[in-house]
Chains A and B, each alone.
Chain A
Amino acid sequence: MLRDTLRRFLSDVYSDEQRNVSLATEHGMSREIWLQLAELGVVHALFAEHVGGLGGHGYDIATVFEEIGRAGVVEPLLENAILAGGLIADLGTDDQRAVLDAVMSGGHQLAFAHGEPHSRYEMSRVSTAAKAVGQGIVLNGRKAVVSNGEAAQTLVVSARTAGEDDAEDGISLFLIPADAPGLSTREYPKIDGGFACEIDLHDVKVPDDALLGRSGDAFPAIEARMSMAIAAVSAEALGAMETARQLTVDYLRTRTQFGRPIGKFQVLQHRMADMLIEIEQARSAVLNLAAALDKPRDVRERNASATKNLIGRVGRLVAEECIQMHGGIGMTQEYSLAHFARRLVMVDHEFGDTDHHLERFIALSQARG
């Protein structure tokens, strides 16, 4: 139901022109589109019922993000609903959750500031320090490639309150207003759409009730939300693969060289057939993870790494093959494929790449015995 509504809405309004308008607007998003998505209930669908949402389960995530990917939407749904909003829903007090109504109705922007300049893909490597000082907490450190960070009015920031730099224990989360003194941002475009920023925290002072969840105990919640984010970007990649595939099939049918449509050449037919098989593998991987999100930690995490590894491989294959089979036209900025190809490749740089998750899958499998 939601899938049909969302697909129809996006195919009506979210053209290449609309995406370019969004990207040329402040913070790389269209306020109008964002409010329309909220009105359709797309943001609600990604939150659990106990915080006023309509679901937030694996299949909701997979459904919404596949459509987001199919249309190439650059608006920050992941950042608001899955990551920062999700953590507030999972860990927040009633007071802290109060902001979620505004988030779901499109009136408040969030971002999750977790990665750091040297953390690469390690979820537990947090060097930003939070120290109790009299009445409150003081944060110092730097956060890297924070998607939607500049647009956000409220940031969920991870910081270390105890332990070594890469320890799972000792990580805490804080709700920090974007205009907090000592917090500065540097915004830039991402190569695949949208904006991110670097955040410097210099003696940023927050009250004790800025703490989200228990002190030093945030890692399990972060890990669970990262798996949901992996489900989201994997489903988004699946949608992007379908669009890239369709563009390429259409091109093979219409582009004529040597007196016939190039889709009549067997070498291209076979490559297209291989791509179709791999995209179906990607679809199954997304379903596996969607089903595993509610399962115990070991099942969930093993599936998250399996899916992200496969999506990384297939995403690259689809992007590269679609460009190659188009030839020069596939490399031009103004042709639709460019956006989808860039997104498919760059998904591998979010929440752990193919190799990171291959190693993690091995480690999780061995730990299981």
Chain B
Amino acid sequence: MSAQIDLGEFRKEVREFLREKLPVRISNKVRSGLRMSKADYEEWHAILNEKGWLAVNWPIEFGGTGWTAHQRFIFEDEMCAAHAPRIVPFGLMMLGPVLQKFGSQAQRDRFLPRILNGDDWWCQGYSEPGAGSDLASLKTRAVRDGDHYVVNGQKTWTTLGQHANWIFCLVRTDTEVKPQAGISFMLIDMASPGVEIRPIRLLDGEAEVNEVFFDDVRVPVENLVGEENQGWTYAKYLLTHERTNIAGTGFAKAGLDAVKRIAGQEMAGGKPLAANPLFAARLAQVEIDLMAMETTNLRVIAQVAAGQAPGVESSMLKIKGTELRQQINDLTRRAVGPYAIPFVSEALDEGSNAQAIGPDYAAPVAAQYFNNRKLTIYGGSNEVQRTIIAKQVLDL
């Protein structure tokens, strides 16, 4: 299949589309590191959906692109280079594939179209205060009561949950068996009585994650996905399914371009910082690593094309990709010198009257550096990923 696709032509087509359809207002916000609103994401999703390019990892039969892993890689690469907002992953990348594989026909018919047309905004209810790296120890309880489950407990680190009207959750339905065997995958309407959401402010001052509380929340049994107590299998499927873009190569390349531009403008000792041998060496080191990582990423994609499902490779890509992106954030912070210190939060709002203090590009960089410390923590911390590699590849 992939042999018949002219990837060069495909890249041109994507680039052309982005040039024509990506609103300049939105790409400027992404480029400048301004806060994205719910409406911004929805506007961009609608544009992609109209083109049929929103569900990049769904099969055509469900309204997806049916793209190969290599096409998805090129698409993300071009999206990042054009400063397009990321596709919000919860409904599209995470829940969609689970419903397609394990959901009932009724669930697919009900939810998949609403994900595509933007009627629903999904968030993820996995982590709990006591269940982070050890996700299987989760305690949120769902007890069957007639044609409902009654859910009690708490989820946390729920990214963009403040925008969501639905949450997919891992809940405990059996406490008598080993932890992994008593977990179910459940869809919960956030408007249900007993659901409460509270923002968590992070060290960059932003509130993009939340706590979600469930107090005797009644969930219709038809919102159970697949079989009761099989949720861990579905969650694991989601963790390895089509994760060939987990390295964030496109984000890293766009970030490296940005720091190069900044280093060309910042002056150090009467010369551009880019000409400073130490800084130039640091940039070069990251670029060399990134060149190799892109090829590693493409090698994994080639394996997928040859019919091998990516498994532990996604752990390798996650570790290398997130650490490289953090290095780029670190260099960007350092590049702007003393102007990394001022932090005028309002200056990151679109149309704000608050001027940036130093050069425009300096305004968000310290906050972005701190914010992206999350990259090595979330989605299975890098420590957890290393353990996966040690056990599953090295057989230690």
Q: Which of B203, B278, B338, B357 meets A341, CB within 8 Å? A: B203
Q: Give A176-225 interface residues, CB cut-off 8 Å to B.
A: 186, 188-192, 196, 198
The answer on a CB contact under 8 Å between A332 and B202 is: yes
B344 at the binding interface (Cβ < 8 Å): yes
A and B contact pairs by CB, cutoff 8 A, 11 listed: A115-B338, A118-B267, A121-B337, A188-B342, A189-B343, A191-B370, A258-B134, A328-B156, A331-B370, A332-B202, A338-B203
Question: How far is A356 from B277 in the complex, measured between Cα atoms in Å?
Answer: 11
Interface residue stretch chosen among B31-39, B83-91, B377-385 = B377-385
Question: How far is A268 from B156 in the complex, measured between Cα atoms in Å?
Answer: 23
A156 at the binding interface (Cβ < 8 Å): no
The answer on a CB contact under 8 Å between B266 and A120 is: yes
Q: Please, what's the 1-or-0 string for B256-275, where 1 marks a CB less than 8 Å from any CB in chain A?
A: 00000000001111100000
Question: How far is A121 from B268 in the complex, measured between Cα atoms in Å?
Answer: 8
- When C-beta atoms are compared, the residue in chain B nearest to A324 turns out to be B376
Q: Which of A192, A258, A328, A338 meets B341, CB within 8 Å? A: A192
The answer on a CB contact under 8 Å between A348 and B343 is: no
Q: Please, what's the 1-or-0 string for A123-145, where 1 marks a CB less than 8 Å from any CB in chain B?
A: 00000000000000000000011
Give how many A-B residue pairs fall within 8 Å (CB-CB): 130
A171: shortest Cβ distance to chain B, in Å?
Answer: 16
The answer on a CB contact under 8 Å between B377 and A328 is: yes
- When C-beta atoms are compared, the residue in chain A nearest to B201 turns out to be A333
Q: Which residues of B contact A191 (CB under 8 A)?
A: 340-343, 366-367, 370
Q: Hey, which bits of chain A sit against chain B, CB under 8 A?
A: 115, 117-118, 120-122, 144-145, 166, 186, 188-192, 196, 198, 256-258, 262, 267-268, 316, 320, 323-324, 327-328, 330-334, 338, 341-342, 345-346, 348-350, 353-356, 358-359
The answer on a CB contact under 8 Å between A120 and B134 is: no
The answer on a CB contact under 8 Å between B132 and A144 is: no
Q: Which residues of A contact B342 (CB under 8 A)?
A: 145, 188-191, 196
Q: Which residues of A contact B386 (CB under 8 A)?
A: 267
Q: Hey, which bits of chain B sit against chain A, CB under 8 A?
A: 127, 130-134, 137, 156-157, 200-203, 205, 209, 266-270, 276, 278-279, 282, 326, 330, 333-334, 337-344, 357-358, 366-367, 369-370, 373-374, 376-378, 381-383, 386
Question: How far is A196 from B343 in the complex, measured between Cα atoms in Å?
Answer: 10
The answer on a CB contact under 8 Å between B266 and A346 is: no
Question: How far is A188 from B202 in the complex, measured between Cα atoms in Å?
Answer: 20
- When C-beta atoms are compared, the residue in chain B nearest to A166 turns out to be B270
Q: Which residues of B contact A341 (CB under 8 A)?
A: 203, 370
Q: Which residues of B contact A268 (CB under 8 A)?
A: 383
Question: How far is A144 from B358 in the complex, measured between Cα atoms in Å?
Answer: 8
The answer on a CB contact under 8 Å between B337 and A188 is: no
The answer on a CB contact under 8 Å between A145 and B341 is: yes
- With contacts A188-B343, A331-B202 taken as known, whether A353 is within 8 angstroms of B334 at the C-beta atoms is yes
Question: How far is A188 from B270 in the complex, measured between Cα atoms in Å?
Answer: 28
- With contacts A188-B357, A191-B367, A346-B366 taken as known, whether A333 is within 8 angstroms of B341 at the C-beta atoms is no
Q: Shortest 6 CB-CB distances between A and B: which pairs?
A: A191-B343, A257-B134, A338-B203, A333-B201, A120-B337, A145-B338
Q: Which residues of B contact A257 (CB under 8 A)?
A: 131-134, 137
The answer on a CB contact under 8 Å between A334 and B133 is: no
Q: Which of A262, A316, A353, A359 meets B337, CB within 8 Å? A: A353
Q: Which residues of B contact A338 (CB under 8 A)?
A: 203
Q: Which of B157, B201, B338, B343 meets A121, CB within 8 Å? A: B338
Question: How far is A120 from B268 in the complex, measured between Cα atoms in Å?
Answer: 7
- With contacts A144-B358, A191-B367 taken as known, whether A346 is within 8 angstroms of B200 at the C-beta atoms is no
For the A-B complex with A345-B369, A345-B370, A348-B334 known, give 17 more contacts whose Cβ atoms are closer than 8 Å: A120-B266, A122-B269, A188-B357, A189-B343, A190-B341, A191-B342, A257-B134, A258-B133, A323-B203, A327-B132, A327-B133, A330-B377, A332-B200, A338-B203, A354-B334, A355-B334, A358-B278
Question: How far is A324 from B338 in the complex, measured between Cα atoms in Å?
Answer: 26
Q: Which residues of A contact B330 (CB under 8 A)?
A: 316
Question: How far is A122 from B337 in the complex, measured between Cα atoms in Å?
Answer: 11
The answer on a CB contact under 8 Å between A144 and B340 is: no
Q: Which of A120, A145, A267, A332 meets B203, CB within 8 Å? A: A332
A258: shortest Cβ distance to chain B, in Å?
Answer: 5
Q: Which of A144, A189, A327, A355 meets B377, CB within 8 Å? A: A327
- With contacts A122-B269, A258-B134 taken as known, whether A331 is within 8 angstroms of B338 at the C-beta atoms is no
- When C-beta atoms are compared, the residue in chain A nearest to B207 turns out to be A333
- When C-beta atoms are compared, the residue in chain B nearest to A164 turns out to be B270
- When C-beta atoms are compared, the residue in chain A nearest to B267 turns out to be A118
Question: How far is A188 from B326 in the complex, measured between Cα atoms in Å?
Answer: 27
Q: Which of B156, B269, B339, B376 meets A144, CB within 8 Å? A: B339
A190: shortest Cβ distance to chain B, in Å?
Answer: 5
- When C-beta atoms are compared, the residue in chain B nearest to A348 turns out to be B334
A17: shortest Cβ distance to chain B, in Å?
Answer: 15
A26: shortest Cβ distance to chain B, in Å?
Answer: 17
- With contacts A257-B132, A257-B133, A333-B203 taken as known, whether A346 is within 8 angstroms of B340 at the C-beta atoms is yes
Question: How far is A256 from B382 in the complex, measured between Cα atoms in Å?
Answer: 18
Q: Which residues of B contact A348 (CB under 8 A)?
A: 334
The answer on a CB contact under 8 Å between B373 and A324 is: yes
Question: How far is A190 from B386 in the complex, measured between Cα atoms in Å?
Answer: 36
Q: Which residues of B contact A324 (CB under 8 A)?
A: 373, 376-377, 381-382
- When C-beta atoms are compared, the residue in chain A nearest to B381 turns out to be A327
B364: shortest Cβ distance to chain A, in Å?
Answer: 11
- When C-beta atoms are compared, the residue in chain A nearest to B278 turns out to be A355
B68: shortest Cβ distance to chain A, in Å?
Answer: 34
The answer on a CB contact under 8 Å between B202 and A333 is: yes
Question: How far is A78 from B35 in the complex, measured between Cα atoms in Å?
Answer: 34
- When C-beta atoms are compared, the residue in chain A nearest to B203 turns out to be A338
Q: Which residues of B contact A346 (CB under 8 A)?
A: 340-341, 366
B388: shortest Cβ distance to chain A, in Å?
Answer: 13
Q: Which residues of B contact A345 (CB under 8 A)?
A: 333, 366, 369-370
The answer on a CB contact under 8 Å between A328 and B127 is: yes
- With contacts A328-B132, A346-B366 taken as known, whether A144 is within 8 angstroms of B338 at the C-beta atoms is yes
Q: Which residues of A contact B382 (CB under 8 A)?
A: 324
Q: Which residues of A contact B133 (CB under 8 A)?
A: 257-258, 262, 327
A39: shortest Cβ distance to chain B, in Å?
Answer: 30
A331: shortest Cβ distance to chain B, in Å?
Answer: 5
A274: shortest Cβ distance to chain B, in Å?
Answer: 15
Q: Which of B282, B373, B374 meets A320, CB within 8 Å? A: B373
B277: shortest Cβ distance to chain A, in Å?
Answer: 8
